């Protein structure tokens, strides 16, 4: 469909195909839950701010939809930039705080760098003839060298928006700075549009996927995954922790994409389709459970004023609804059956197990190693969320400032509850009935790659999920859930029937030491201590340890991202140096400026004769 | 239903595993006592313990949340599910395709997460200590277990335990060096996940040395009984997974009643040997420092990865 | 694959396993035992290759390996550490999980390198070439990361084990003269190392090799 908007001779083209439809489904369903929540969340804002926030919010949603619908490069870039700008304004809603302003600045900077790369990529694909519609770009022939250049530009351009290393630094700054529904939108949906862009450009527009690209994607994906989860384990700010987990999950999506590219590069389209399906399914799953987690964190922040995990504790008693929904989100992100996170990780593992199909000896052996990093990351995520849930909701209340704190907490309102319930139901639905989505994504793959999963996989129905062949692998979440629930209930009733259900309440076991206080529980940093011990060299840590002679002993821990020192600060220094040199041009005297104009005029007259 | 014999086998196996698990625990304890030159407790002691615990009143901390009270049932349910999936007595059970080896690892992870959350629920330092240490062990043991499974999956071309058992049992006798590496890694993971020496001492009463016991310190009566039972089923399940992957001979097919006595006999023999072997390992080794446990487990992880690589080298 | 070649594969894998185990061991006594077991595995593999291919000179190499690497050299090393009174190694230069990771990386590299060569050879044991190469590299790594001198020597000897396995797998052993020469070199080398250890210990009162850095001119 063509809209007569935009510049003359460059109208907007819109198109929905399978891939765009799937992402629109993601956008719609997740934003429905988030918007419901936001209706309750922003209730106490002043009218002026509320109008502004609503305007920016809806422009953001509309621009994301436009990105997905765009069928030519021009509309794509316009919508992309609108998305970045509207989200910048949303992030800096509380712009009075300097920390939030600098977070917004970093976000906008890296978003623009990514946009430049994407623009260059479109330029490379265009090749100087034809117009900029996607159908023209699709049919343009590219030599392998230029195709690789386009791939690299697209990968790093979209990767900057997705939050893969080394261009991730904006994510842990911007997501905590934004209000919680906005963080949920950004983490849940916006970074997925970057994945949409990658899949669209690399699979559809460039075509001819090579396996070397897949190896690069796999390596960066594995690094992103491990980096994200290891840094997440060290955080005690709840929203920053969730932001790092978004980085990790983008890494997992990249692992699926990379495996898919490797298989396609070697001509194994069935396994490649499985990898693509795994990656896209994880995109949807992550959107749902990450939005749920951010909304839960928003409830905690909003209703109890607490942001630092070290101050929380025992919130399950004050906020039982939030606790319940957050538990579902935490179980989903830890990839535990029968919820949805497990299904997409399972599919990624099944893709890796197709490795014997590849001819190349080295590639065949290292593909399972990436599955090993995925396994490691999954286990670390579970550890992190045990920490988060245990410290925030369970246990006793830790010391908190008197005006905020769990004592003053109240549970979330109705709108917020509905929003979170919608997303939690989504987690269950996606986890229990994955076959429907598998078949849906199979059609997407058939459109993109020309062929999808093998015939034997199509026996998947509401009960069984079969990715390749029933003898090879199958999974049924429904049976899982039913058996566990049935056994739980039957055991409960049998024990009551044959024995009794008497309970006595008492104080917890204190090992004979009567002066137990709530300060004796683990703090967030304490829970992460084993990881600091094992993975020490990967962090840039600064610790102040208490000494035996201190009158007031204190312990301080500061962890910084190494990428600042490796990449960002050197690049910033270089940019500063270059601009200092260029600033020499600005002499301040009018005669010099007139001299510049004069020289340019003479030069033009000489060369453009 | 045309698969009635299959369902009969399924129910028989699940009930059998649940009832027999404490017996295996009793056997291991008996072997250990004999090796340590003590007089051995009765073989049926775990059953008496469970019965005693069920009779007691449950003492629960005042601030415990519903999560604390529901966790023992969930743990028991997870282990029940695992018992139904692993081909203990027979392959081709109706529920077996519901979960392959990866999902099996996921079930154990689910149980571990719930146990850790319940440990943190009370708000004492011991709960946090137990949860933190359990997750430390878990985060390395789970990938090592997965890599071991992957090696077996690559050899047999499938992740369904049924198919793995069928392939390995019915193939002509062949020595797979990769399975040797994977077997060693699996043994190390079994010791870690089931809280045996050298990772954790199941008989300790010193809170600061506990990992698994610290998590269940607050539980009493029927909750504790269910958790102890679940631990016994977990050990049983791990042992039978090991048999399925490495010594799969003697397992019947679902519906084949004639092969059932042989399956029982083979299983009893394997369990007796495995239990005695476990007791021997626990007696010979000493519990290692907690901070060396990650080294132990990363060795297991790397051995499993190495096994996978050797498979590709030798077969390719 | 025939039974013989499967057994050889298994023993080669055992060799690699022992090389990894040596990489992560701290106790020097256990290192010596592991080295003896590695020699035994090597000898067994050589016996099997000799039996199934009928190359008689391999029997002789196998016996030589048993005598030298399973009995004589471990005994010499035992006496050495008794006289020098050392039992434990201090921490290695880089911590053990990182060493193991490096080891895995080297193993992958060795396997990748050996893959095309294995396809060209047509011996019974060609798939063990990658394993042999990996053992050599791992022993080299062990020599680099250790701080005391005795584990470095054991690494050197283990490297020779790997080379021997490589020779057996690719070309059914080296010419007998070469083998005898290598064996003699190894034996003499061990004695000379022993003498060196005493000198080092007298000079520095310890066998920590970092002390030898003091010898450089500043």
Q: What SS3 string covers A160-181?
A: HHHCCCCCCCCHHHHHHHCCHH
Cβ–Cβ gap A362/C97 under 8 Å: no
Q: Using the beta-carbon criterion (under 8 Å), do A379 and B143 form an inter-chain contact?
A: yes
Answer whether B303 sits within 8 Å of C97, measured CB to CB: no
- Report the length, in residues, of chain C: 218
The predicted pLDDT at position C120 comes to 66
Q: Is A179 exposed, middle or buried (0-12, 13-18, 19+ CB in 10 A)?
A: buried
Nearest CA in chain A to C95: A534
* Contact in structure between C39 and C32 (CB atoms under 8 Å): no
**Residue C136 in this model has a pLDDT that exceeds 70:** yes
Size of interface B-C (CB pairs under 8 A): 57
User: Chain A contacts of C97, Cβ < 8 Å?
Assistant: 534
Sort B5 into a burial class: Cβ within 10 Å, 0-12 / 13-18 / 19+: middle
Mutate to test the interface with C, among B144, B173, B312, B314 (most CBs of C within 10 A): B314
CA dihedral sign, ordered B228, B233, B238, B240: positive
Task: Judge: B99–A480 Cβ closer than 8 Å, yes or no.
Answer: yes
Nearest CB among B81, B103, B132 relative to A527 is that of: B132
Q: Which residues of A touch B291 (CB under 8 A)?
A: 530, 533
Asked if B122 and B63 count as a contact pair (C-beta separation under 8 A), the reply is: yes
Rounded CA separation A197/A158 (Å) = 7
Identify the band that residue C113 occupies on the pLDDT scale cut at 50, 70 and 90.
Answer: confident
A321 inside 8 A of chain B by CB: no
Question: What is the distance between the alpha carbons of residues A452 and A454, in angstroms, rounded to a whole number?
Answer: 7
Closest residue in B to C7 (Cα) is: B175
d(CA B194, CA B270): 18
Say if C116 is an interface residue toward chain B (CB within 8 Å): no
Q: Return the residue of C nearest to B295 by Cα.
A: C97
Asked if the Cβ–Cβ distance from B175 to C14 is below 8 Å, we say: no
Nearest to A521 among B123, B291, B305 (CB): B123
Whether A536 has its CB under 8 Å from any CB of chain C: the answer is: no
Sort out which chain A residues have CB atoms less than 8 A from C111's CB and list them.
Answer: 361, 365
Interface contact C93, partner A, CB < 8 A: no
- Residue entry with tokens 């003896």: C36
What are the two backbone dihedrals, phi and then psi, of residue B160, each rounded to the nearest 5 degrees?
A: -75, 130
Closest alpha carbon within chain B to A511: B207
Instruction: Classify residue C88 as exposed, middle or buried by CB count within 10 Å of its CB (0-12, 13-18, 19+).
Output: exposed
What is residue A150's three-state secondary structure?
Answer: helix
Q: For chain A, report the end-to-end CA distance as a whole number of angstroms.
A: 45
> Helices marked H in A1-97 — which ranges?
18-41, 47-69, 73-91
Structure tokens at A250: 């983008």
Q: Which residue of C has its CA nearest to B181?
A: C17
Q: Which residues contact B203 (CB under 8 A, 6 or more apart)?
A: none
A491 touches chain B (CB under 8 A): yes
Residues of chain A with pLDDT under 70: 1-11, 128-130, 399-409, 515, 587-588, 609
What is the spatial distance between Cα B176 and Cα A225, in angstroms, rounded to a whole number?
33
- Tell me whether strands A556-560 and A2-7 are parallel, antiparallel or unpaired: unpaired
Q: Are C22 and C35 in contact (CB under 8 A)?
A: yes
- Which residues of chain C neighbour B184 with C-beta distances below 8 Å? 17
Judging contacts by C-beta atoms under 8 Å, the chain B residues touching residue A352 are 150
Q: Does B108 touch chain A (CB under 8 A)?
A: no
Torsion of CA C28, C33, C38, C41, to 10 degrees: -170
Q: Give the integer Cα–Cα distance in Å for A202 and A200.
A: 6
Burial B254-278 (b: 16+ CB within 10 A, else e): bbeeebeeebeebbeebbeebbbeb
Which comes out higher in pLDDT, residue C90 or B295? B295
Give the minimum alpha-carbon distance from C51 to chain A in angstroms, rounded to a whole number.
32
The predicted structure's pLDDT at residue B1: 46
Closest Cα to residue A161, out of A88, A107, A209, A201?
Answer: A107
- Taking an 8 Å cut-off on Cβ atoms, the answer to whether A361 and C97 are in contact is no
φ and ψ at residue A557, rounded to 5 degrees: -135, 130
Distance from CA of C114 to the nearest CA of A (A): 11
Contact across the interface for A527 and B106, Cβ inside 8 Å: no
Please judge whether A353 and B159 are an interchain contact, meaning their C-beta atoms are less than 8 angstroms apart. Answer: yes
Q: B8 CB contacts (<8 Å, ≥6 apart)?
A: none
pLDDT at B111: 94
Interface contact B154-A353, CB threshold 8 A: yes
Residue-averaged pLDDT of chain B: 86
Q: Which residues of C touch B181 (CB under 8 A)?
A: 13, 17
Return the partners of chain B (3 or more C-beta pairs < 8 Å).
A, C
Of B298, B305, B309, which has the smallest distance from its Cβ to C97's Cβ?
B298
Q: Which two tokens stand for residue B46?
A: 């775990």
CA nearest A487 in B: which residue? Answer: B77
Handedness of CA C72, C75, C77, C80 (dihedral sign): negative
pTM of the model: 0.88
A361 contacts C112? CB cut-off 8 A: yes
Q: Does C107 touch chain B (CB under 8 A)?
A: yes
DSSP labels, A33-61: HHHHHHHHHGGGS-HHHHHHHHHHHHHHH
B312–C101 C-beta distance less than 8 A? no
Task: Output the 3-class SS for chain B.
Answer: CCCHHHHHHHHHHHHHHHHHHHHHHHHHHHHHHHHCCCCCCCCCHHHHHHHHHHHCCEEEECCCCHHHHHHHHHHHHHHHHHHHHCCCCEECCCCHHHCCHHHHHHHHHHHHHHHHHHHHHCCCHHHHHHHHHHHHHHHHHHHHHHHHHHHHHHHHCCCCHHHHHHHHHHCCCCCCHHHHHHHHHHHHHHHHHCCCCCCCCCCCCCHHHCCHHHHCCCCCHHHHHHHHHHHHHHHHHHHHHHHHHHCCCCCEECCCHHHHHHHHHHHHHHHHHHHHHHHHHHHHCCCCCHHHHHHHHHHHHHHHHHHHHHHHHHHC
Distance (Å) of CA A14 to CA A86, A134, B306: 21, 10, 51
C112 touches chain A (CB under 8 A): yes
* A70: β partners: A14
Q: Which residues of C touch B298 (CB under 8 A)?
A: 97, 100
The DSSP bridge pattern shows strands B58-61 and A503-506 to be parallel
DSSP codes joined into one string, A472-540: T--B-HHHHHHHHHHHHHHHHHHHHHHS---EEEEPPP-TT-----GGGSPPHHHHTHHHHHHSGGGSE
User: What mean pLDDT do residues C83-94 have?
Assistant: 68
The tokens for A553 are 């002993």
Which secondary-structure segment (H or E) carries A544?
A: strand A540-544
Give the residues of chain B that fall short of pLDDT 70: 1-3, 172-174, 255, 315-316
Contact between A522 and B159 using a beta-carbon 8 Å cutoff: no
Question: Closest to A479 (Cβ–Cβ): which among B78, B98, B126?
Answer: B98
Looking at chain A, which subunits does it touch, using at least 3 CB pairs closer than 8 Å as the criterion? B, C
- Which chains lie within 8 Å of chain C at 3 or more CB pairs, if any? A, B
- Report chain B residues whose CB lies below 8 A from the CB of C131: 310, 313
The token pair that represents B48 in the structure block: 């008496």
CB A392 within 8 A of CB A312: yes
Q: Please return the burial class of A562, using the count of CB atoms within 10 Å of its CB with bins 0-12, 13-18 and 19+.
A: middle
Q: How many CB pairs under 8 A join A and B?
A: 253
Q: Are A134 and A73 in contact (CB under 8 A)?
A: yes
- Look at residue A94 in the predicted model and tell me its pLDDT: 75
| Band of pLDDT at residue C210, cut at 50, 70 and 90 | low
| Selection from A199, A189, A409 nearest residue A302 by Cα | A409
Instruction: Using alpha carbons, select from C56, C12, C64 the residue that is nearest to residue C38.
Output: C12
**Per-residue DSSP letter, C87:** -
């Amino acid at each position: 469909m063509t809209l007569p908007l935009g510049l003359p001779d460059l109208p907007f083209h819109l198109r929905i195909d399978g891939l765009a439809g799937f992402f629109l489904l993601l956008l719609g369903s997740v934003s429905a839950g988030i918007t419901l929540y936001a209706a309750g969340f922003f209730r106490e804002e002043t009218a002026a701010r509320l109008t502004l926030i609503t305007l920016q919010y809806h422009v953001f949603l509309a621009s994301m939809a436009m990105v997905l619908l765009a069928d030519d490069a021009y509309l794509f870039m316009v919508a992309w930039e609108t998305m970045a700008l509207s989200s910048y304004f949303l992030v800096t809603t509380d712009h009075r705080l300097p920390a939030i302003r600098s977070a917004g600045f970093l976000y906008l900077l890296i978003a623009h760098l990514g946009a430049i790369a994407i623009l260059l990529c479109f330029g490379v694909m265009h090749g100087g003839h034809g117009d900029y519609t996607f159908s023209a770009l699709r049919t343009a022939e590219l030599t392998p060298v230029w195709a690789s250049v386009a791939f690299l530009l697209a990968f790093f351009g979209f990767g900057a928006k997705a939050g893969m290393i080394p261009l991730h630094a904006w994510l842990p700054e911007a997501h905590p700075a934004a209000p919680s529904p906005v963080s949920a939108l950004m983490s849940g949906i916006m970074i997925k549009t970057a994945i949409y862009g990658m899949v669209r450009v690399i699979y559809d527009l460039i075509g001819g996927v090579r396996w070397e690209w897949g190896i690069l994607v796999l390596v960066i994906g594995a690094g992103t995954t491990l980096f994200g989860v290891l840094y997440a384990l060290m955080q005690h700010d709840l929203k920053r922790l969730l932001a790092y987990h978004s980085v990790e999950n983008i890494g997992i999506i990249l692992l699926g994409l990379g495996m898919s590219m490797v298989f396609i590069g070697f001509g194994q389209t069935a396994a490649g389709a499985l990898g693509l399906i795994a990656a896209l399914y994880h995109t949807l799953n992550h959107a749902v459970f990450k939005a749920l987690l951010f909304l839960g964190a928003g409830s905690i922040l909003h209703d109890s004023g607490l942001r630092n995990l070290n101050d929380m504790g025992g919130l399950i008693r004050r906020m039982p609804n939030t606790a319940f929904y957050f538990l579902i989100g935490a179980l989903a992100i830890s990839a535990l059956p029968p919820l949805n996170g497990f299904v997409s990780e399972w599919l990624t593992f099944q893709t890796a197990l197709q490795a014997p199909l590849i001819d190349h000896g080295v590639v065949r052996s290292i593909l399972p190693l990436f599955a090993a990093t995925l396994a490691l990351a999954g286990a670390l995520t579970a550890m992190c969320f045990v920490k988060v849930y245990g410290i925030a909701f369970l246990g006793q209340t830790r010391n908190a400032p008197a005006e905020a704190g769990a004592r003053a907490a109240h549970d979330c309102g109705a709108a917020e509850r509905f929003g979170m319930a919608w997303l939690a139901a989504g987690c269950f639905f996606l986890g229990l009935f994955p076959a429907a989505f598998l078949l849906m994504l199979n059609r997407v793959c058939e459109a993109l790659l020309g062929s999808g999963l093998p015939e034997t996989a199509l026996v998947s129905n509401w009960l069984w999920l079969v990715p390749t062949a029933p003898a090879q692998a199958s999974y049924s979440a429904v049976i899982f859930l039913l058996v566990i629930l049935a056994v739980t209930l039957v055991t409960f009733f049998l024990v009551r029937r044959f024995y009794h259900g008497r309970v006595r309440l008492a104080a917890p076991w204190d090992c004979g030491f009567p002066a137990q206080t709530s300060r004796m529980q683990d703090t967030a940093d304490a829970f992460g201590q084993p990881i600091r011990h094992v993975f020490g060299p990967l962090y840039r840590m600064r610790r102040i340890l208490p000494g035996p002679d201190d009158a007031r002993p204190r312990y301080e821990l500061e962890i910084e991202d190494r990428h600042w020192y490796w990449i960002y600060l050197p690049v910033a220094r270089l940019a500063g140096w270059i601009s200092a040199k260029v600033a020499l041009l600005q002499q301040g005297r009018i005669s010099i400026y007139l001299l510049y104009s004069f020289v340019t005029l003479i030069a033009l007259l000489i060369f453009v004769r | 239903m045309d698969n009635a014999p299959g369902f009969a086998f399924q129910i028989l196996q699940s009930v059998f595993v649940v009832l027999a698990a404490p017996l295996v625990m009793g056997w291991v304890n008996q072997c250990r006592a004999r090796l340590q030159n003590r007089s051995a407790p009765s073989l049926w002691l775990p059953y008496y313990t469970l019965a005693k615990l069920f009779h007691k009143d449950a003492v629960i901390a005042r601030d415990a949340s519903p999560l604390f009270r529901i966790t023992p049932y969930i743990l028991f349910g997870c282990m029940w599910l695992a018992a139904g999936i692993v081909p203990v007595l027979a392959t081709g059970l109706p529920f077996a395709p519901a979960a392959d080896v990866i999902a099996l690892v996921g079930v154990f992870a689910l149980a571990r997460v719930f146990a850790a959350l319940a440990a943190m629920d009370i708000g004492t330092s011991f709960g946090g200590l137990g949860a933190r240490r359990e997750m430390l062990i878990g985060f390395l043991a789970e990938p090592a277990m997965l890599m071991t499974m992957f090696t077996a999956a690559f050899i047999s071309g499938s992740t369904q335990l049924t198919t793995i058992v069928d392939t390995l049992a019915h193939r002509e006798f062949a020595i797979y060096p990769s399975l040797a590496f994977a077997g060693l890694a699996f043994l190390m993971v079994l010791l870690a996940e089931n809280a045996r020496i050298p990772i954790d001492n199941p008989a300790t009463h010193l809170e600061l040395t506990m990992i698994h016991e610290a998590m269940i310190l607050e539980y009493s009566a029927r909750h504790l009984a269910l958790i102890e039972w679940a631990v016994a089923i977990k050990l049983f399940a791990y042992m039978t997974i090991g048999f399925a992957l490495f010594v799969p001979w003697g397992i019947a097919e679902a519906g084949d009643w004639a092969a059932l006595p042989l399956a029982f006999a083979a299983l009893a023999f394997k369990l007796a040997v495995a239990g005695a072997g476990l007791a021997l390992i626990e007696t010979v080794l000493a519990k290692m420092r907690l901070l060396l446990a990650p080294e132990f487990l990363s060795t297991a992880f790397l051995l499993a990865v190495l096994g996978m690589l050797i498979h590709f080298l030798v077969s390719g | 694959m025939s039974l013989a070649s499967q057994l050889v594969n298994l023993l080669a894998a055992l060799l690699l396993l022992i090389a990894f185990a040596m990489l992560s061991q701290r106790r020097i006594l256990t290192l010596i035992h592991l080295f003896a077991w590695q020699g035994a595995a090597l000898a067994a593999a050589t016996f099997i290759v000799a039996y199934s291919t009928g190359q008689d000179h391999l029997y002789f190499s196998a016996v030589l390996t048993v005598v030298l690497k399973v009995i004589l050299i471990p005994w010499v090393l035992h006496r050495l550490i008794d006289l020098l009174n050392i039992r434990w190694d201090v921490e290695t230069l880089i911590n053990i999980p990182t060493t193991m990771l490096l080891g895995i990386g080297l193993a992958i590299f060795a396997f990748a390198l050996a893959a095309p060569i294995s396809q060209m050879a047509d011996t019974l044991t060609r798939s063990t070439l990658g394993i042999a190469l990996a053992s050599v590299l791992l022993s080299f790594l062990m020599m680099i990361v250790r701080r005391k001198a005795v584990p470095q020597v054991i690494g050197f000897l283990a490297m020779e084990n790997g080379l021997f396995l490589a020779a057996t797998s690719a070309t059914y052993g080296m010419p007998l003269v070469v083998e005898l020469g290598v064996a003699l070199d190894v034996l003499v080398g061990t004695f000379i190392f022993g003498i060196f250890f005493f000198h080092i210990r007298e000079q520095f009162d310890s066998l920590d090799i970092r002390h030898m850095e003091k010898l450089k001119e500043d």
